[in-house]
Amino acid sequence: MPILSCENLTKQYGAVTALDGVNLNIEPGRIVGLLGPNGSGKTTLIKIANGLLTPTSGRILINGMEPGVETKKLVSFLPERTYLANWMSVKQLLNYFQDFYEDFDRERAATMLAHLNIPETQRIRQMSKGTREKVQLILVMSRRARLYLLDEPIGGVDPAARDYILNTIIGNYDPQAAVVISTHLIADVEPLLDEVVFIQNGHILRHTPVDQIREEMGKSVDALFREEFRCL
Amino acid sequence: MFMKLVKHELHELLRVLLPIFGGLLLFAGVTRGLIWLMQQNDNPILSVTGGMFIGLFFMSCVACVILTAVLLLVRFAKSVHGDEGYLTHTLPVGVHSILCSRLLVSVLFLAAAMGTAIGSVLISTWRLEELSEISEGIGLLFESAGLKSGFWWTILASVFVQTVTTVLMVFAAISIGHSFNRGKVGFSILFYFALNTTASMISTILSLLLMNTTLFDEAAELSTVTSSSMALSIGMNLVFCGVYYFIAWIMTRKRLNLA
Amino acid sequence: MRWEFHGDAPIHAQVTERIERMIVSGALKPGERLPSVRSFALEAGINPNTMQKALNELERGGLIYSQRTAGNFVTNDPQTIAAVRESLAAQTIRQYLRGMTELGYSPEEAEARLRAQLQSEGGIEHANPEL
């Protein structure tokens, strides 16, 4: 059974159609790139999967269930923006995640934080932007979730932080779980991906294994993306 | 899960509000000392500055309650409809739990703020004989109005329901205001006044309609009229509570619009 | 640190070749135990599924063998390594010739040019392929 499944998923904001009849299945064990230009519907799709938005029509199922309390136990979400309260210390955040998420592996998070020399007493407001993003990612990836939804995890961070983030995603790979990475920085994430989903104007243009693109078309996903979205 | 939400809200707000409450109580102690000093010495400079100080203290008591209310509504807006909402709404809890935990904690802290303010006033001026005089005075007032001592409870209930109603009205206004893409704060304030005006219009019309019923007969005793109108206002507020809660719930559940 | 990949071939094929070169050059010794799939994938900066695919290919070619619990090991068979070395050499030469053809050299001219280069530099150092 797919861990994420969209059936004719449509979302309209007033007159604007953000998602238009999207059909998509994502299987466990896969790392999937959700690729598209800004405003193509990536974030809308991720927000609906998290229950932060309700679809206009069609439906989305997480492990066979509509988004709700039960699916939130299975989904670990990294939003595009910093959402951690500034005043909180690392330790308080660990307590918070441990309190609310049964699948939170505190030891794993503590190990990763120790590797970065981030003391648990440090507060979010004392951190640089790059460190904040890393802490957020550590918290999100330390859950033993079934579906990780990462919205622009490497946007706006320096190359060293980018490598760290990508390595954290690889290091936490779990064959039982799917990872969806939305980004427009394709060259950086391409070696991580099993499959890519191209999305434009709320339509899925393609959903293909990366190997197939390279084998059949003899080009990288990045090159293909540039071609298919050239006119934009 | 509900209790965990309450625990975290309490913790977060205690961090901010405890120093404020503590500061006010300290201020009250200092004021009390100053009053004593003024009574001992007949110094014109001391009485002028002391008078100003005491005035400042009484303003602080009011400010404490207002500041608490403002911090509570900012906290609600930030954690439910602001960036922190990304975390709040991806926790495995329902919208009812989120709203009810905020409501409970807000009412608790508003009560604490009012308690602290009243307590501070008592600390600053309190003398045992005065306290008993005050309570006697109030007792006499009630008696003259023909009210029973149980009326205290009616007043408390009324204040409680009024507080809950106000909190829910603010939650509803913020939830509507934040469904707009721009001017979230402006729309929140606008809808606060809109809800407020609507509510007072409805209560005025209802009161006018009920004026002519036997309850409010000219012949009726003052006590009956007072109790009846109290009960009526509590009842109306309860209905408003339900409506505001529903608005806040539906806007958060269906029309959440995080930036 | 992270491995670089070009756009022409699937990443797993590039990973396979890279590990072949590591074995042929001696960076990975015969009989040596390979890192776990996860840490090898981390080192390369790639999806663990892709690394697994590459290792499967190498196993099919006999260059590595897996022991159920202990992990993957480089083969101890010098003939297998020599054969891979030979095929990588052929591939490198083909690349050279293709490059020279693009520059307008005939195969004979390319050969003569290579000889001249070797003479002027006194023979290039026998270097390991870049890792």
| Whether residues C68 and C104 fall in one domain | no
Flag whether C25 is in a domain: yes
Q: Does A173 touch chain C (CB under 8 A)?
A: yes
Q: Test A100 with B92 for CB contact under 8 angstroms.
A: yes
Phi, psi (5° rounding) for residue B108? -60, -45
| Whether residues C91 and C63 fall in one domain | no
Q: Structural domain tally of chain C?
A: 2
Flag whether B247 is in a domain: yes
Q: Does C50 touch chain A (CB under 8 A)?
A: yes
Flag whether B172 is in a domain: yes
Flag whether C62 is in a domain: yes
pLDDT tens digit sequence for A143-161: 999 999 999 988 878 888 8
Flag whether C2 is in a domain: no
C30: domain CATH number is 1.10.10.10
Flag whether C4 is in a domain: no
Which of A175, A206, A203 minimizes the C-alpha distance to A3? A175
Q: How far is CA B241 from CA B94, B162, B205, in A?
A: 20, 9, 18
pLDDT tens digit sequence for A91-113: 999 999 999 999 999 999 999 99
| Whether residues C57 and C102 fall in one domain | no
| Whether residues C95 and C111 fall in one domain | yes
Q: How far is A221 from chain B (nearest CA, A)?
A: 30
Q: How far is CA B183 from CA B118, B244, B247, in A?
A: 37, 21, 19
Q: Does C4 touch chain A (CB under 8 A)?
A: no
Residues pairing with B239 in the sheet: none
Q: What DSSP element (H or E) covers A205? A: strand A203-209
Flag whether C45 is in a domain: yes
Q: Does C75 touch chain A (CB under 8 A)?
A: no
Can you tell me which residue has the tokens 């959903």? A207
**Cβ-Cβ contacts under 8 Å, B259 against chain A:** 81
Flag whether C6 is in a domain: no
| Whether residues C111 and C61 fall in one domain | no
Flag whether B259 is in a domain: no
| Whether residues C88 and C71 fall in one domain | no
Flag whether C127 is in a domain: no
Flag whether B52 is in a domain: yes
Q: How far is B252 from chain A (nearest CA, A)?
A: 9
Q: Does B250 touch chain A (CB under 8 A)?
A: no
pTM of the model: 0.86
**How many CA atoms are closer than 13 Å to the CA of A68, on its beta-carbon side?**
8
| Whether residues C40 and C18 fall in one domain | yes
A65: domain CATH number is 3.40.50.300
Looking at chain C, which residue has its C-alpha nearest residue A188? C45
pLDDT tens digit sequence for B79-120: 999 989 999 999 999 999 999 999 999 999 999 999 999 989
Considering only CB atoms, A81 lies closest to which of B7, B83, B90, namely B83
Flag whether B87 is in a domain: yes
B52 lies in which domain range? 2-254
Residues A166, A169, A174, CA angle at the centre, nearest 5°? 155
A13 lies in which domain range? 4-228
**How far is it, in rounded angstroms, from Cα B43 to Cα B237?**
52
Q: Structural domain tally of chain A?
A: 1
Residue B150: pLDDT over 80: no
Q: Does B96 touch chain A (CB under 8 A)?
A: no
Q: Identify from C11, C38, C43 which residue to disrupt to test chain A contact, counting A C-beta atoms within 10 A and taking the largest count.
A: C11
Q: How far is CA B50 from the centre of its chain?
A: 30
Flag whether B148 is in a domain: yes
CB A134 within 8 A of CB A124: no
pLDDT at A182: 94
**Cβ-Cβ contacts under 8 Å, A101 against chain B:** 91-92
**Cβ-Cβ contacts under 8 Å, A190 against chain C:** 5, 11
DSSP E strands in chain B: the ranges are none
C103 lies in which domain range? 79-121
pLDDT at C131: 45
pLDDT tens digit sequence for B151-183: 777 888 888 999 999 999 999 999 999 988 888
Looking at chain A, which residue has its C-alpha nearest residue B4? A99
Q: Test A83 with B254 for CB contact under 8 angstroms.
A: no
Q: How far is CA C85 from the centre of its chain?
A: 8
Higher pLDDT, B100 or B33: B100
| Whether residues C33 and C71 fall in one domain | yes
pLDDT at B258: 82
Q: Identify from B1, B10, B13, B87 which residue to disrupt to test chain A contact, counting A C-beta atoms within 10 A and taking the largest count.
A: B87
Q: Structural domain tally of chain B?
A: 1
